[in-house]
């Protein structure tokens, strides 16, 4: 299935943030919906002053391509292709394809060409991964059954572009089965072109932030009737960065949050530096204004975003904002699906809203979102090796977050499947505490090269916990 370089904060800003207590491991499940902090009066679904935008272009049937050769007799029996010829569009940087039915699978290939803004150069055809249905809310949940969720490919980061073409080629029938019918494409195919907007350093304070600060005082971000202290859910007034904490401070924090007796020696790694949603410029008007939690965090599922590797670390915030907008506006999710993201330079970012210490219900591993967290490494690692900095960041993040809930990164845990293509709903599945997406769902994610690094990430994470 962004990002996000943000300025560091001072001691004063750090002192404002008092993290919410984590839910102790083994507590009763909590799937309640909690109201989000006030962000000012709600605007229209797509207010004109929201940074960034989405162009949604319906596809049409294309003529048979000229590049099919005479040694492809079965291709003629395939369903017609759909797409759009080369055209000029408003600037965008991230592209994906969606369709009406979230339960419909796209059997075929999706390719795009884009024109770079300024140079006028067209790229070669680039593949979009068609697997994105596996990064979604679990069947039967309110988010999945909202009626707004669509089927979608993974998005692809293409950089600043002002021209595009797309083609969707359906699979041909099995040549060995003379009775096979052409495989149709999903209904309602649309090309989504996402402009992630400006980095937060370039944006003035919004009216909602100004109104909230005027009503509550600078830096509080509280809601009417809420406690006066900042509660750790990153609001528009929260710090841009949560600074790293030493191991002793992190363990003391964990003891208090988990209700442990002093000296219980919880295995909690040092909290790493985390760029908050404010830091990477998340537009809080896009997402639903409520949070949903489960009881604990028993496992971490590692993903690659499949957005490609052609981004710089300075562009990471933009990538994350593009993914966020694509998940919400194009795919119909309540928020970005991942709980955290990591870029190629090892920077860590807060994902789905609700509090970095909390067991926030995500939409990252279909069937296993409950009592887990999803970490997306920005990039595609099917044939490319993940940078060591990114793997180290995964180890640091899991050592801290899993430690808050008493989980051993080298151990195993049992999760109950919510339904998927690998395990039936209700099946109890024994999984590594740090698992790859493919462990819970039949998919290539997180890419073969990143998946091979999970063993070393488990070892490093456990060492950081003091095990």
Domain of 281, CATH number, reads: 3.40.80.10
pLDDT at 259: 56
Residue 187 and residue 247 in one domain: no
Cβ-based neighbours of 214, under 8 Å, separated by 6 or more? none
pLDDT at 225: 28
Q: Encode pLDDT of 287-340 as tens digits.
A: 999 999 999 999 999 999 999 999 999 999 999 999 999 999 999 999 999 999
Count of domains observed in the chain:
2
Domain of 102, CATH number, reads: 2.60.120
| Contact (CB, 8 A) for 153 and 111 | no
Residue 59 and residue 19 in one domain: no
Residue 151 and residue 269 in one domain: no
Residue 250 and residue 190 in one domain: no
pLDDT at 66: 61
Final residue before a domain boundary, out of 195, 219, 246 = 195
**Three-class DSSP category at 260:** coil
Residue 31 and residue 164 in one domain: no
Decide if pLDDT at 407 tops 70.
Answer: yes
pLDDT at 224: 27
Residue 32 and residue 124 in one domain: no
Is 225 within the bounds of a domain? no
Write out the residue range of the structural domain in which residue 65 sits.
53-195
The sign one gets for the Cα dihedral 96, 98, 103, 109 is negative
Is 229 within the bounds of a domain? no
The sign one gets for the Cα dihedral 454, 459, 463, 467 is positive
For the ranges 65-79, 204-218, 272-286, 379-393, which has the lowest average pLDDT? 204-218
Is 78 within the bounds of a domain? yes
| Contact (CB, 8 A) for 398 and 300 | yes
Final residue before a domain boundary, out of 195, 220, 245 = 195
CA–CA distances in Å: residue 100 to residues 152, 311, 330, 384: 9, 30, 11, 32
pLDDT at 142: 85
Is 46 within the bounds of a domain? no
Decide if pLDDT at 134 tops 50.
Answer: yes
Mean of pLDDT values over 171-187: 78
For the chain, the average pLDDT equals 80
Residue 138 and residue 258 in one domain: no
Task: Identify which has the larger pLDDT, 257 or 273.
Answer: 273
| Contact (CB, 8 A) for 382 and 408 | no
The model's confidence at residue 220, banded by pLDDT at 50, 70 and 90, is very low
Is 4 within the bounds of a domain? no
Residue 290 and residue 426 in one domain: yes
The model's confidence at residue 238, banded by pLDDT at 50, 70 and 90, is low
The model's confidence at residue 367, banded by pLDDT at 50, 70 and 90, is confident
pLDDT at 199: 85
User: What distance in Å separates the CA atoms of residue 71 and residue 262, rounded to the nearest whole number?
Assistant: 73
277 phi and psi angles, rounded to 5 deg: -60, -40
Is 201 within the bounds of a domain? no
Is 134 within the bounds of a domain? yes
The model's confidence at residue 26, banded by pLDDT at 50, 70 and 90, is very low
**Looking at the chain, how many residues does it have?**
467
Residue 148 and residue 259 in one domain: no
Is 212 within the bounds of a domain? no
pLDDT at 78: 67
pLDDT at 298: 97
Decide if pLDDT at 364 tops 80.
Answer: yes
pLDDT at 229: 29
Residue 317 and residue 269 in one domain: yes
Final residue before a domain boundary, out of 162, 195, 228 = 195
pLDDT at 300: 97
For the ranges 31-40, 118-127, 319-328, 432-441, which has the lowest average pLDDT? 31-40
pLDDT at 50: 42
Torsion of CA 374, 376, 377, 378, to 10 degrees: -170
Residue 340 and residue 389 in one domain: yes
For the ranges 168-172, 277-281, 283-287, 311-315, which has the lowest average pLDDT? 168-172
Residue 243 and residue 381 in one domain: yes
């Amino acid at each position: 299935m962004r990002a996000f370089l943000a300025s560091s904060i001072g001691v004063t800003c750090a002192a404002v943030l008092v993290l919410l207590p984590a839910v102790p491991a083994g507590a009763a499940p909590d799937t309640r919906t909690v109201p989000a902090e006030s962000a000012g009066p709600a605007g229209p679904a797509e207010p004109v002053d929201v940074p960034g935008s989405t162009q949604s272009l319906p596809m049409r049937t294309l003529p048979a391509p000229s590049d099919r050769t005479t040694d492809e007799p079965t291709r003629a029996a395939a369903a017609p292709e759909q797409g759009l010829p080369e055209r000029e569009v408003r600037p965008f940087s991230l592209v994906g394809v969606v369709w009406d039915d979230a339960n419909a699978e796209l059997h075929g290939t999706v390719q795009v060409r884009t024109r770079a803004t300024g140079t006028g150069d067209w790229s070669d055809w680039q593949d979009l991964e068609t697997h994105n249905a596996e990064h979604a809310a679990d069947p039967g949940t309110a988010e999945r059954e909202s009626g707004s969720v669509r089927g979608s490919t993974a998005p692809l980061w293409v950089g600043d572009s002002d021209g595009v073409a797309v083609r969707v080629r359906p699979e041909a029938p099995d040549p060995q089965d003379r009775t096979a019918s052409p495989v149709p494409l999903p209904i309602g195919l649309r090309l989504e072109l996402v402009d992630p907007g400006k980095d937060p350093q370039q944006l003035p304070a919004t009216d909602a932030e100004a109104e909230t600060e005027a009503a509550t005082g600078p830096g509080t971000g509280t809601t009417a009737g809420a406690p006066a202290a900042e509660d750790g859910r990153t609001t528009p007034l929260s710090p841009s960065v949560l600074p790293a904490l030493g191991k002793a401070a992190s363990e003391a924090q964990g003891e208090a949050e988990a209700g442990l007796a002093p000296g219980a020696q919880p295995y909690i790694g040092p909290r790493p530096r985390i760029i908050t949603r404010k830091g990477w410029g998340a537009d809080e008007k896009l997402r639903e204004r409520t949070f949903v939690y489960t009881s604990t965090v028993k496992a971490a599922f590692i993903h690659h975003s499949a957005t490609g590797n052609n981004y710089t670390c300075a562009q990471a915030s933009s990538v994350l904002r593009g993914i966020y907008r694509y998940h919400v506006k194009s795919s119909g999710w309540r928020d970005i699906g991942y709980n955290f993201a990591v870029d190629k330079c090892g920077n860590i970012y807060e994902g789905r809203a609700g509090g970095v210490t909390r067991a926030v219900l995500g939409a990252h591993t279909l069937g296993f979102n409950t009592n887990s967290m999803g970490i997306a490494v920005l990039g595609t690692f099917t044939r490319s090796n993940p940078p060591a900095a990114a793997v180290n960041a995964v180890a640091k993040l899991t050592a801290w977050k899993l430690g808050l809930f008493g989980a051993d990164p080298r151990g195993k845990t049992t999760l109950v499947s919510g339904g998927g293509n690998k395990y039936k709903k209700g099946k109890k599945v024994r999984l590594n505490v740090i698992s790859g997406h493919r462990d819970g769902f039949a998919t290539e994610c997180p890419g073969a090269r990143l998946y091979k690094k999970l063993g070393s990430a488990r070892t490093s994470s456990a060492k950081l916990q003091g095990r």
